[in-house]
Amino acid sequence: MGLFDRYGGTVKLWLGPIFSLLLSDVSDLEVVLGGTQLLEKADEYDALKRWLNEGLLVSRGRKWFARRKVLTPAFHFKILEQFVEIFDRQARQFVQSLQVALQSKRDVVHLVDYIHLCALDVICVLGILAASAAFVSLLIYHLKYKHIIEVTKNIPSPPSLPLLGHGHHFVGKAPHKLVATIQEFMDVYAKGKTLKIWLGPELNFLMADPKDIEVVLGTTRFNDKAGEYKMLEPWLREGLLVSRGRKWHKRRKVITPAFHFKILDEFVDIFEQESRVLLTNLQREHQQSVNLYDWINLCTMDTICETAMGVSINAQTNVDSEYVRAVKTISMVLHKRMFNIFYRFDWTYMLTSLARAEKRALNVLHNFTEKIIVQRRAELLRSISESPVQHDDVDMGTKRKMAFLDILLQSKIDDKPLTNLDIREEVDTFMFEGHDTTSSAIMFFFYNIATYPECQRKCVEEIVSVLGRDTKTPVTYELLNKLHYVDLCIKETLRMYPSVPLLGRKVLEECEINGKIIPAGTNIGIAPLYLGRCENLFSDPNTFKPERFDVVTSAEKLNPYAYIPFSAGPRNCIGQKFAMLEIKAIVANVLRSFEIDFVGDASEPPVLIAELILRTKDPLMFKLKERVY
């Protein structure tokens, strides 16, 4: 400082034959430090080389540049966040050491010595962790990932970090922002085709080319579901949605007859009955803004219980029942496990209160289903012993219609009846797949026709022309099949807002799909939500245009693997006809009774959350007005 005060901002020094300049002017410092022209360290650093060799501090040229590029991600804020725990632990040890020193009645404490030891502890722990991570990473890379990285190097992807992959783009983001992030990555990097995403050590491909999708969904080659579906196994066990191989094939064959049109014809009476309860509830709400989803959800829960098990849980009239609360708990658990990294791994999740809440809810759901199965099996056996007719013609001893459960009770696999556990798995699967999915579809249907009043008018005209002006006229299977325009509106709703926004498959063996090598263990994601908004697949994709699905009048040629709200191929949704009939029955009865207006800014699309079932960030609110003819 004295030299600068005496001689100015630049000082020339000769130390024997060594010439040196000392600079203090900011503009000079910017030239020296601000570019890569003067990167090499001064001779004084040579004393460190015997220890550091060519570490980052003393290396130069190409070696320095390459090392710097590799090491930079290690100081990403997500990594630094994990180091804070070490800083805290060693700082507390530092404080304890000072307290011991003070208790020894020393007059003077050399604080620098203690700081030096604390810093040494911190950096040693971090150094060991870094070295261990580097060694393990290199070992894993050479043993497993080198081949995977090599064969997938030409698949486009966003910027990634070592070890984390692309996880830093998603961790900590609100669920509704993930949809926008994926959309952006697909548009910018994949150009609407195929995107590579590494989530830590897990490789994922997102595919949006119908030719690739046809290969994945069109055969049984990729029948195994992706890892995300494992979160459903505590509830559904090995039901049709998550089972694989021979078990899936056998179960699918047994269950298919349950969705024969003659069975569906009987279910329409239940759709009619439960939608009437919904109308009663909406009648009390029509003077104010109403969250339709809540009431629709209870209606579909009653409907699915009645059709699946032949019993009513009266969810619409007893919203606080134990069964209803258990279903809501499981829905909340699935949401949190999808978007919280801490809950995604079983070994951390099982330590949480959420896991304990899930266990209690599962006990309620499983015990309820098990109880109904035992009761109905006993009734079946009693009916067989008392009835002279053949087993297949038994009426189950009651006046009510056959439920899904009754069909399973009479089914066999390899000439053996299904066990109670087999039946419970499929009944619970039917409950899950037929409950939230239809609720989502109906809510978005009402949103679309409320924001497109002309479409609502056409729906009502058709409903009145088919069912008449008397709102008490019940819907029937035959009448619902005549609602052609309503059908188009449902299809268009499912294009824009598919109930299941993402489908997942697991690749078990390395394979090739249209020139792309897919390594074993890769998760393939296919997003009906993204496909439905692709301009190269659908004209004016953000506009609600039901007529595009009219095969008679539409000039738009639809690729069957571009529109897949019910998936496609051998593992498509087995209950899609059931779902379409239920949606039609409910919307027909509601629209006959009420005009529906959207309460909100219709110019701004709803903010979506893409979990297992498509939802909105905020409730969609509606105003209902009694329809006057």
Query: Is the model's pLDDT at 139 over the cut of 90?
Result: no
Expressed in angstroms, the distance from the first to the final Cα of the chain is 93
Task: Transcribe 572-609 into DSSP letters.
Answer: S-TTHHHHHHHHHHHHHHHHHHEEEEEES-TTSPPPEE
Residue 71 to residue 131: CA distance in whole angstroms: 12
Domain stop point among 151, 169, 187: 151
**Between these two residues, 127 and 502, which has the higher pLDDT value?**
502
Q: How far apart are CA 262 and CA 282, in angstroms?
A: 31
Q: Quote the DSSP letter at residue 161.
A: B
Q: What would the pLDDT profile of 359-374 be if each residue is shown by its tens digit?
A: 999 999 999 999 999 9
48 and 25: one domain?
Answer: no
Q: What are phi and psi of 605, to 5 degrees?
A: -65, 155
User: Could you read off the pLDDT of 514-537 as tens digits, one per residue?
Assistant: 999 999 999 999 999 999 999 999
Q: Out of 139-143, 320-324, 382-386, give the one with best mean pLDDT.
A: 320-324
Evaluate whether residue 176 is within a structural domain.
no
Q: What pLDDT is stored for residue 515 in this prediction? A: 93
Tally of residues, the chain:
629
Question: Do residues 275 and 463 touch, judged by C-beta distance below 8 A?
Answer: no
pLDDT digits (tens, 9 = 90+) for 214-246: 999 999 999 999 988 888 999 999 999 999 999
**With bands split at pLDDT 50, 70 and 90, how would you rate the model's confidence at 397?**
very low
Q: How many domains does the chain contain in total?
A: 4
| Coil, helix or strand at residue 419 | coil
Q: Select the more confidently predicted residue: 351 or 127.
A: 351
Cβ–Cβ < 8 Å for 376, 396: yes
- Mark whether 137 and 262 lie in a shared domain: no
Domain at 540, CATH number: 1.10.630.10
- Angle of helix 436-451 relative to helix 453-467, nearest 10 degrees, comes to 110
Looking at residue 73, what is its pLDDT?
Answer: 67
User: Is the four-CA dihedral 264, 267, 272, 275 of positive or negative sign?
Assistant: negative
CA dihedral (149, 154, 156, 160) positive or negative: positive
> Which of 49-63, 163-177, 525-539, 558-572 has the lowest average pLDDT?
49-63
- 120 and 58 fall within a common domain: no
Decide if pLDDT at 132 tops 70. Answer: no
Helical pair 420-433 and 353-386, crossing angle rounded to 10 deg: 120
- Copy the structure tokens of residue 565: 């709200």
Q: Which domain holds residue 135?
A: 76-151
Same structural domain for residues 139 and 237?
Answer: no
pLDDT tier, 48 (very low <50, low <70, confident <90, very high otherwise)? low
Residue 316 in domain: yes
Q: What is the pLDDT of residue 129?
A: 55
Residue 221 lies in a domain: no
Asked if the structure places residue 173 within a domain, the reply is no
Question: Looking at the structure, do residues 19 and 97 belong to the same domain, yes or no?
Answer: no
Q: What is the pLDDT of residue 116?
A: 62
Q: Is residue 194 in a domain?
A: no
Structural element, H or E, at residue 498: none
Dist. CA 493–CA 490, nearest whole Å? 5
Claim to verify: residue 129 and residue 64 sit in the same structural domain: no
Task: Please indicate, yes or no, whether residues 69 and 13 belong to a single structural domain of this protein.
Answer: no
The verdict on residue 172 lying in a domain is no
Quick one: 10 and 95 in the same domain? Answer: no
Domain presence at residue 455? yes
Nearest CA-CA partner of 94 in 119, 67, 71, 72:
119
Distance CA 85, CA 79 (A): 11
Same domain for 133 and 28: no
Q: What burial class does residue 243 get, using C-beta atoms within 10 Å of its C-beta: 0-12 exposed, 13-18 middle, 19+ buried?
A: buried
- The pLDDT of residue 138: 55
Q: Which long-range contacts (CB under 8 A, 24 or more apart) does 180-188 make?
A: 182/206, 182/527, 182/530, 182/610, 183/530, 183/533, 185/158, 186/530, 188/158
Measure the CA–CA gap between 131 and 567, rounded to whole angstroms: 46
Q: State the alpha helices, DSSP H only, in 232-291.
A: 233-236, 245-255, 261-285
Burial 192-208 (b: 16+ CB within 10 A, else e): ebbbbbbbeeebbbbbb
Residues 122 and 256 in one domain: no
Round to whole Å and give the CA distance between 301 and 436.
Answer: 8
Residue 162: per-residue pLDDT: 76
Closest listed residue to residue 616, CA positions, set 18, 33, 176: 176
Averaged over 118-131, what is the pLDDT?
61
Shared-domain flag, residues 260 and 346: yes
Is 534 marked as a binding-site residue?
Answer: no
Domain boundary among 134, 151, 168: 151
> What pLDDT does 393 receive?
41
Name the packing angle between helices 292-309 and 322-339 (round to 10°).
110
The Cα 396–Cα 381 span in angstroms is 9
Confidence band, pLDDT 50/70/90 cuts, at residue 120: low
Claim to verify: residue 118 and residue 5 sit in the same structural domain: no
Read off the pLDDT of residues 240-287 as tens digits, 9 standing for 90 and up.
Answer: 999 999 999 999 999 998 888 888 999 999 999 999 999 999 998 767
Q: Amino acid letter at 617?
A: K
Q: Is residue 561 part of a domain?
A: yes
